[in-house]
Amino acid sequence: MREVAILGIGQVPVDEHWDKRLVELAGDASFAALEDAGIKRVEALYVGNMMAGQLDKQTHLGALISDWIGFRGIEAMTVEAACGSGALALRTAMMAVSSGLVSSALAVGVEKMTDTSPAETTAALATAASADWEGVHGVTFVGLNALIMRRYMHEYGWKHEDFAPFSINSHANGALNPFARFQSPITKEVYLNAPMIADPINLMDASPIGDGAAAAVVVPLDLVKGTNQKPLVKIAGSSVATDSLAVHDRHDPLWLSAAEKSAQDAYRQAGITPDEVDFFEIHDAFSIMAALSLEACGFAERGQGPKLALEGEITRNGRIPIATLGGLKARGHPVGATGMYQIVEAVRQLRGEAGPAQIDGARIGLTQNIGGSGATIISHILKAG
């Protein structure tokens, strides 16, 4: 297997981009990634997107975007696993390049969620859950996560306020990221007094939707080693794992088995243990998901994710910094784009380009993108140099 590297990255700010179409957002992120990589062309485009068919009345994004960015004719396709679609774009680019079938690829995650009504967007998001067991009852995504969080609090004895550090940390980091949707720190009082959405999840437990796009150029490592001006970032581990779509049908609804499996696979491929991970771009769609991910990936004991957060270990100077540029909570969660934002942010850290949000001496980063409430989980280990 040919090893692959990320040669360039690009992103647009997560926002309500009412003046830009989906293809323009994808294009702007792609142009930035190509310029950053210093190359003029790629052989293939893999697009992570979940909802354009439903919200933009536009499927077939691969051909659309490759034409828009001036690469009419190249291989192109969309990949999808709900909110995990973004990281699948990188995974597919890696498979294409490491197989030798393609010599360079662009992975783009893109989503446009704010041109439609909240009801339409919420209904489209709900298609990530089981239509037969969950969607049919009208349960929303925040509703499903609320059920999980309530059970978790009951099972392990945590109070709602114990989750405050997740939100506070993400907002503190997002304040240092010019691409984040929310660039303002929050206090514990703001967290505690936020309006309730689906008890026990309040507004500060939930990530905001948004429009956004993020991209990366993927090439064979051996072709670019020693030639690039910027520090090279290698994809040292990549794994996708799944679980039951319907939450009730899992062996344990409080354990993200697909997070555990994909993280363990990625660690093994990279030849590392969790102790060696310098930072973790986590899928904190809801604060409960951050806690569960930390546990499944080996950073906290079962049921003890909030303890790690309460002890300050998830902040920039802690044992395992998470959401270092704002995470889903503050950078925002344009669903099909989120996984690629995580990749872009990890590369910024590994290159030492994260500015005031920089993790000192970051050499190894874990990114983890979650589809549904844990049914598809994609883990990547990126290494500097």
Just list the catalytic residues: 83, 333
61-to-28, 32, 47, 69, 74 alpha-carbon distances in Å: 15, 19, 7, 12, 13
Asked if residue 99 binds a second copy (CB under 8 A), the reply is: yes
- Site track for a second copy across 117-146, x = CB under 8 A: ------xx-xxxxxxx--x-----------
CB-based contact 299:320 (threshold 8 Å): yes
Which residue, 97 or 323, has its beta carbon nearer to a second copy?
A: 97
Which residue, 120 or 311, has its beta carbon nearer to a second copy?
A: 120
CB of 384 to a second copy, least distance (A): 22
| Among 101, 193, 196, 312, interactor with a second copy by CB under 8 A | 101
**CA gyration radius for the chain?**
19
Which residue, 141 or 163, has its beta carbon nearer to a second copy?
A: 141
Tokens of 366: 């874990």
137-to-24, 96, 122 alpha-carbon distances in Å: 36, 40, 14
Which residue, 61 or 314, has its beta carbon nearer to a second copy?
A: 61
Angle at 122 between CA 117 and CA 128, to 5 degrees: 140
| Among 258, 266, 294, 308, interactor with a second copy by CB under 8 A | 258
- Site track for a second copy across 206-245, x = CB under 8 A: --------------------------------xxxxxxxx
Number of residues engaging a second copy in binding (CB under 8 A): 66
CB of 268 to a second copy, least distance (A): 13
As a whole number of angstroms, the distance between CA 164 and CA 168 comes to 6
**Closest by alpha carbon to 83, among 145, 167, 6, 10?**
145
**Closest by alpha carbon to 206, among 219, 195, 215, 222?**
195
As a whole number of angstroms, the distance between CA 71 and CA 234 comes to 25
- Site track for a second copy across 52-71, x = CB under 8 A: -xx-xxxxx-xxx-xx----
As a whole number of angstroms, the distance between CA 315 and CA 290 comes to 13
Asked if residue 116 binds a second copy (CB under 8 A), the reply is: no
- Site track for a second copy across 13-52, x = CB under 8 A: --------x----------------------x-----xx-
- Site track for a second copy across 346-375, x = CB under 8 A: -------------------------xx--x
CB of 27 to a second copy, least distance (A): 13
Antiparallel, parallel or unpaired: β 376-384 and 364-371: antiparallel
Please give the backbone phi and psi of residue 383, each rounded to the nearest 5 degrees, phi first: -125, 140
Which residue, 112 or 171, has its beta carbon nearer to a second copy?
A: 112
Which residue, 210 or 371, has its beta carbon nearer to a second copy?
A: 371
Please give the backbone phi and psi of residue 214, each rounded to the nearest 5 degrees, phi first: -145, 150
3: amino acid identity, one letter: E
Contacts of 5 (CB under 8 A, 6+ apart): 218, 219, 220, 221, 224, 225, 232, 233, 234, 235
3-state SS assignment for residue 334? coil
What is the DSSP track for 167-190? HHHHHHHHTT-TT-S------HHH
| Among 329, 376, 380, 382, interactor with a second copy by CB under 8 A | 376
CB of 269 to a second copy, least distance (A): 9
CB of 244 to a second copy, least distance (A): 5
As a whole number of angstroms, the distance between CA 84 and CA 250 comes to 19
Which residue, 197 or 375, has its beta carbon nearer to a second copy?
A: 375
Within residues 75-94, the interface with a second copy by CB under 8 A covers 75-82, 88, 91-92, 94
Residues engaged in binding a second copy (CB under 8 A): 1-2, 21, 44, 50-51, 53-54, 56-60, 62-64, 66-67, 72-82, 88, 91-92, 94-96, 98-102, 123-124, 126-132, 135, 238-245, 249, 257-258, 261, 371-372, 375-376
